[in-house]
Structure 1
Amino acid sequence: MTETLLHAAAAAGVPLDEAEAGLRRATEALLGLQREDGHWVFELEADATIPAEYVLLRHHLAEPDDPELERRIGAYLRRIQAAHGGWPLFHGGAFDISASVKAYFCLKMIGDDPEAPHMRRARAAILAAGGAGRANVFTRILLALYGEMPWHRVPTIPVEMVLLPRWFPVHLSKMSYWARTVLVPLLVLQALRVRARNPRGVRIPELFAARRARRRRMRTHRKPGWAAFFNTVDAGLKLAEPLWPEPLRRRAIARCVDFVTERLNGEDGLGAIYPAMANAVMMYDALGYPPEHPDRAIARRAVEKLLVLREEEAYCQPCVSPVWDTALVCHALLEAGGEPATAAATRGLAWLKPLQELELKGDWAAWRPDVRPGGWAFQYRNPHYPDLDDTAVVVMAMDRARDQLRLGRNYDEAIARGAEWTAGLQSRDGGWGAFDADNIHHYLNNIPFADHGALLDPPTADVSARCVSMLAQLGEAQDSPRMRAALDYLEREQAADGSWFGRWGVNYIYGTWSALCALNAAGLDGATPMVRKAADWLLAIQNPDGGWGEGCESYRLDHSGHEPAPSTASQTAWALLGLMAAGEVDHPAVARGIAWLLHNQDETGLWPQEAFTGGGFPRVFYLRYHGYPKFFPLWALARYRNLRQANHTRPAHGM
């Protein structure tokens, strides 16, 4: 599409036949990606950290050599090395010392010559940043496992903490689900001072500065008083640890093993996330479980299922996203309409239905024991850890299909149980976290172990907005106590410029799209000040080319706002969906955004996108959802067509 056409679109709107043609091509492409059993799953890519850790895990365990796999992972790591010499946390990002140390160690382990140009550049960048001793806690733990760093350089969390009562200030139940599953097997590794086998004997002393790095500056997310207190506690624990009673230690280790084994989750793995899975395998190995032991074997197979293998490259995903992908694709296809699309969405929803957890009360029940289970996980299976975001999105898709496709009562029970579980996990402040209620013990982010600042799962605007959307779509009155509390929460969370922070997507565009959909579903129109401010903000940050973009750098600790970046397909779609939820379908900016999507649609009918627009841990871990530029733009095109054809200004659904 030429610049002339972009201007024409701004003046008169995109012709519906052009939007329809682009929509048809995208729908056909997406239908071709549906799996035989009805679901969709797309690659979920992070930075260099996890592929490097995967290789180092194999050498930790002294597993048989696999030169071909190492060749492909090496090719991947070399390709994503940045011009600054190291590895970033997201495409085009700044140097990150922890990712760079692991990537360098991995490449050296698989045979790259330390004097090769790419290795020399990486080493120079690492040393210029203070050397491997400046890496984060998880990297220093890996270095301790390999004997590259003494264990006393790692924060001490005694394994005996698992025996503490729940009222104790530092307790597993007060941490996020990901912290629990990663930490418990790690406690055993730390208690036993485990040493990697490392059969090739590869070492990386060259990554450490000649002089020991100065004490690491306090992380900016910490409070000086709390940090000083916990640092003092850490020093005391280091002195006391050798005096710990051996029977108590054995009991604590047994409790850790029980925790992990109960939550092994088959071949979907502990917590269904790579770090927890890998730590579980190393824990069983450290305790003498042979490779063929059923628990160790299934834990190891779970890790293997995260690999993405291509002819010339390979990498390891942090987890997989089939429920999330399938539910969102179903929304997009229901919006697109037509028999092939709705038939495919029906098959996708049928695949989702039996994945609802209706029996097991997971860790969330520690704080909500009277709530019945009813959620969906992000992954194929993760019954101890369903999440509220997925559950709300699945429920809304099923409810929409129930109405649009006249599916009778097939989904009534699933919808009711999902809504009941979601409502039951509303936090006291009116919002929702991703996995737990009231996970707000913020002092825990000051413990030395928590240098990533993401030990907790507090309510966030994006997840809360999705839950509001679900309740409103199901008919919850705007003035009901829980809806009033939720809307008040969103109003408090709105930034002065009109945007909302997006915890799980990058960032203010994602959060604002989520909130606008929720407010529309709850019956607040464009004249409402909260909605008007948000729509005006989206209009103000549109790029000159007609699209929208935002960089991962916007995850500053002070939440100081949107970071301009080149337009991306997924962020353009979010902005468009947000504006249409605010009643702005006829605004020239929406027409220019739709024109941008049509102009950037590739020959496959979909959209290219290398940018990371998913959030893992702000400032620490980011995600590239390969599905986002495939289904979100389709969704935006379909909504634009539908609203224009029907001469409506706002959508009728929660998303």
Structure 2
Amino acid sequence: MSGQAAIHCPQNSGFFLISSLCIQEDLYYPHPLMQDMLWDFLHHVAEPILTHWPFSKLREKALKAAIGRVRYEDENTRYLCIGSIIKILCLLAHWVEDPNSDSYKLHLARLPDNYWVAEDGLKLQSFGSQMWDAAFAIQAILSCNLNEEYGSTLRKSHEFVKASQVQENPSGDFKAMYRHISKGAWTFSMQDHGWQVSDCTAEGLKVALLFSQMSQDLVGEKMETDRFYDAVNVILSLQSSNGGFPAWEPQRAYRWLEKFNPTEFFEDALIERDYVECTSSVVQALALFRKFYPKHRRTEIDSSISNAIQYIEDVQEPDGSWYGHWGICYTYGTWFAVGGLAACGRNYRNCPALRKTCEFLLSKQLPNGGWGESYLSSQNKVWTNIEGNRANLVQTAWALLSLIDAGQAEIDPIPIHHGVRVMINAQMEDGDFPQQEITGVFMRNCTLNYSSYRNIFPIWVLGEYRRQVLFAQNLSA
């Protein structure tokens, strides 16, 4: 807390009185009055009662149950926890219980997993994104058809993908701990993390399937078939009744619980919900799996894909875009949505939704041929250009991939040519691409840095441009 909020705090204020204050710049989600009344009641009435006998016995029992859940989270994530914020809270809980405990020391030992050394110093990141980045990087390399030149890289990445798949469900009676099956899933980072994620599992399944069709002399031994089946099992178990897919676990909470969101700078933070990005990744993975294993759970997979496609079409914005929940913002959500639709045979000519999407993206193209979208799009839910109408290479790549997959090149390839020229001209002498504005986000208001994106997506779009636009034009000439 700082700035204006701090100026008006009396010097003798207790922690509770100032704990609900927040600097105006960070106040994205103000507490509803009902929530403040609840916290006041718990602090002034419930807390004093529960600290005195006989109610103190109930408090002790609750604290034991709470620390038991903390230990369960620790043990099933190898002390990484689901994210760095939760990790710090778990670490503090063990420190309060016993600062000399093994649990506290094990937590300290895994703090470096969240360190990130940037150009301007050491930072603490929210997650490791090793598996997520690797899956995209693999697809980018494969799109360029340079398999022989980068065989060693592909072999190593294949081994990482196989090693990162979760091999077991959470320990013990995991349902009693409100955990979901995880055997066969991929996490956002690595196997230790333990938490299944729908789109990470889908992207992991996609690249594992692609590797399985390549020469084992080049990329190593393919993954066992049962492990593909396990991944599909996790994915199918996560689908919601409306056809969409959440990120971590099936939806099972009520929307009104968001009224008790205590974080002033996050929105939609308490309950699971469906995301177009997760849904699209799943559609692409299941469509690819169905191609290679057409007899395995075919009826369920067909139904899942059909319902997911309907969900994607249902959540399209009136202007033809899709809101992105995990990247900034409409360029990101739209890229995923288009990929899911295209994986099932939709294109510009046979899908009105994709025609509308192409019109939307072309309306946002900058005079220099690129696209640039501000983080304010995520906050305000309205497309906002980056200040100065600058192009962002990652977002330009997302827009171009969307146009290419949608079939815009068959109608008018000139906007795509202009966008690709922006990519080529931006590459530096050493082959790198410049680091620009952050393009990741979560909970609408917290930006995430993906430093690898600046190379992954330009490479990916150049590969797809060469394959789907230039080669296609040469064949039709």
Q: Distance in 2 between matches of 1:447 and 1:280?
A: 21
Q: Secondary structure at the match of 2:153?
A: helix
Which of 433, 441, 444 is the equivalent residue of 1:607? 433
Give the count of matched residue pairs. 448
Cα distance change of structure 1 residues 233 and 399 upon mapping to structure 2, 3 Å threshold: same
Give the equivalent residue in structure 2 for 1:465: 280
Identify which range, 377-386 or 393-402, moves more after superposition.
Answer: 377-386
Which residue in the other structure is 1:86 paired with? none
Task: State which of 397, 400, 410 in structure 2 corresponds to 1:573.
Answer: 397
Structure 2 SS opposite 1:534: helix
CA contact (8 A) 2:76 2:194 kept: no
Matched letter for residue 281 of structure 1: L
Cα distance, 1:317–1:268 mapped onto 2, change above 3 Å:
farther
- Identity percentage over the alignment? 23
Which amino acid is 1:611 matched to? E
**Structure 1 spans left out of the alignment, 5+ residues:** 1-97, 102-125, 135-146, 156-211, 650-655
Instruction: Give the counterpart of 1:434 among 230, 247, 251.
Output: 247
- Counterpart CA distance in 2 for 1:264 and 1:148 is 36
Match of residue 335, structure 2, among 513, 524, 528 = 513
Q: Is 1:416 aligned to 2:229, yes or no?
A: yes
Matched-pair contact (CA < 8 Å) for 1:272–1:382: no
Of 352, 356, 360, the match for 2:165: 356
- Taking a change above 3 Å as real, the CA distance of residues 132 and 272 of structure 1, as seen in their structure-2 partners, is farther
Q: 1:584 aligns with which of 394, 404, 408?
A: 408
SS in 2 for 1:271: coil
TM-score (norm 1): 0.63
Query: 2:115 is matched with which residue: 293, 304, 307?
Result: 307
Q: How far apart in 1 are the matches of 2:25 and 2:461?
A: 46
Q: 1:268 to 1:537 in 2, by over 3 A?
A: farther
- Counterpart in the other structure of 1:16: none
Letter in 2 for 1:463: C
Over residues 195-241 of structure 1, what are the superposed CA-to-partner deviations in whole Å (9 max), with x where a residue is unaligned? Answer: xxxxxxxxxxxxxxxxx99999997688xxxx454444333322122
Deviations 1:265-320 (A, max 9, x none): 58963424221222222222212331xx3210110121233223479732222221
SS in 1 for 2:401: helix
Partner of 2:150: 341
Cα deviation for residue 501 of structure 1 reads: 0.5
Q: For residue 449 of structure 2, give the secondary structure of its aligned residue in structure 1.
A: strand
Given that residues 141 and 460 in structure 2 are in contact (C-alpha distance below 8 angstroms), is that contact kept between their aligned partners in structure 1? yes
The CA deviation at 1:336 is 1.7
Write the distance in 2 (CA, Å) between the matches of 1:313 and 1:219. 27
**Does structure 2 conserve the Cα–Cα contact (< 8 Å) formed by 1:367 and 1:437?**
no
- Residue correspondence of structure 1 range 452-601 to structure 2 within 5 A: 452-453=266-267, 454-475=269-290, 480-527=302-349, 528-556=351-379, 559-564=381-386, 565-585=389-409, 587-601=413-427
Tell me if 1:240 matches 2:115.
no
Structure 2 vs 1, CA of residues 392 and 310 (structure 1 numbering), >3 Å: closer, same or farther? closer
User: Match for 1:387 among 174, 197, 221?
Assistant: 197
Q: Is the 8 A contact 1:364 1:437 kept in 2?
A: no
Quickly say closer, same or farther: Cα 1:254–1:213, change in 2 above 3 A: closer
Distance 1:439 1:505, change over 3 A: farther
- Deviation string for 1:296-347 (max 9, x for gaps)? 0110121233223479732222221111111111111111222132442232
Question: Post-superposition shift, 1:542?
Answer: 0.9
Post-superposition offset of 1:365: 5.3
Tell me the CA shift for residue 474 of structure 1.
2.1
- Structure 1 residues 248 and 465, CA, compared in 2 at 3 Å: closer, same or farther? same
The 3 A distance-change label for structure 1 pair 342 and 132 is: farther
CA contact (8 A) 2:69 2:177 kept: no
- Is the 2:325–2:441 contact (alpha carbons within 8 Å) kept by the matching residues of 1? yes
1:378 matches 2:188: yes
Alignment of 1:150 onto 2:25: no
CA displacement at 1:510 relative to structure 2: 0.3
Q: Over residues 477-523 of structure 1, what are the superposed CA-to-partner deviations in whole Å (9 max), with x where a residue is unaligned?
A: 89932222111111111000000000001000000000001000011
The residue type paired with residue 151 of structure 1 is F
Shift of residue 242, structure 1, vs aligned partner: 0.7
CA contact (8 A) 2:166 2:191 kept: no
Deviates more, 1:566-575 or 1:637-646: 637-646
Deviation at 1:250, TM superposition (A): 1.5
Q: Spell out the pairing of 1:90-105 with structure 2 (5 A cutoff).
A: 101=2
Equivalent pair of 1:270/1:276 in contact (CA under 8 Å): no
Asked whether the equivalents of residues 377 and 387 of structure 1 are also in contact (C-alpha less than 8 Å), the reply is yes
* RMSD between superposed Cα atoms in Å: 3.3
Q: CA deviation at 1:440?
A: 5.0
Deviates more, 1:630-639 or 1:253-262: 253-262
> Which residue does the alignment assign to 2:6?
131
**TM-fit CA distance, 1:623:** 0.9
> Equivalent residue of 1:314, what SS?
strand
CA distance in 1, matches of 2:7, 2:199: 37
Q: CA 1:517–1:562 in 2, change beyond 3 Å: closer, same or farther?
A: farther
**Distance (Å, rounded) in 2 between the aligned partners of 1:381 and 1:427:** 25
Give the 3 Å change call, closer, same or farther, for CA 217–401 of structure 1 in structure 2: closer
What code does the residue aligned with 1:626 have?
Answer: S
Amino acid corresponding to residue 493 of structure 1 in structure 2: V
Aligned to 2:125: 317
Q: How many Å separate the matches in 2 of 1:335 and 1:153?
A: 54
Paired residue type of 1:399: L
Aligned with 1:449: secondary structure? coil
Supply the AA of the counterpart residue of 1:623: L
In 2, Cα distance between the equivalents of 1:505 and 1:215?
24
Equivalent-residue separation in structure 1 for 2:24 and 2:463 (angstroms): 55
Partner-residue secondary structure (3-state), 1:308: strand
SS at match of 2:110: helix
Shift of 1:149: 4.8
Deviations 1:338-370 (A, max 9, x none): 213244223202111122113124899579989
2:254 and 2:114 map into 1 onto residues whose CA distance is: 32
Whether the 8 Å contact between 1:264 and 1:270 is mirrored in structure 2 is yes
Provide closer, same or farther for how the CA distance between residues 367 and 420 of structure 1 changes in structure 2, counting only shifts above 3 A. farther
- In the TM superposition, residue 610 of structure 1 has moved relative to its aligned partner by 2.8
Letter of the 2:94 partner, please give it. Answer: Y
Q: Secondary structure at the match of 2:150?
A: helix
Residues 358 and 648 (structure 1 numbering): CA distance in 2 closer, same or farther, change over 3 Å? farther
Correspondence for 1:331: 139
Aligned residue for 2:395, secondary structure, equals helix
TM-score computed with the length of structure 2 as normaliser: 0.84
Residues 368/220 of structure 1: CA separation in 2 closer, same or farther (3 Å cut): closer
Please state whether the residue corresponding to 2:262 is helix, strand or coil.
Answer: helix
Tell me the distance in 1 between the aligned counterparts of 2:402 and 2:193.
Answer: 32
Structure 2 Cα separation of the partners of residues 570 and 637 of structure 1 = 12
Aligned residue type for 2:343 = A
Q: For the Cα contact (< 8 Å) 1:440–1:457, is it kept in 2?
A: yes
Shift of residue 612 of structure 1?
0.9
Q: Which stretch has the larger CA shift, 515-524 or 395-404?
A: 395-404
Q: How many Å separate the matches in 2 of 1:386 and 1:506?
A: 23
CA distance in 2, matches of 1:530, 1:585: 17
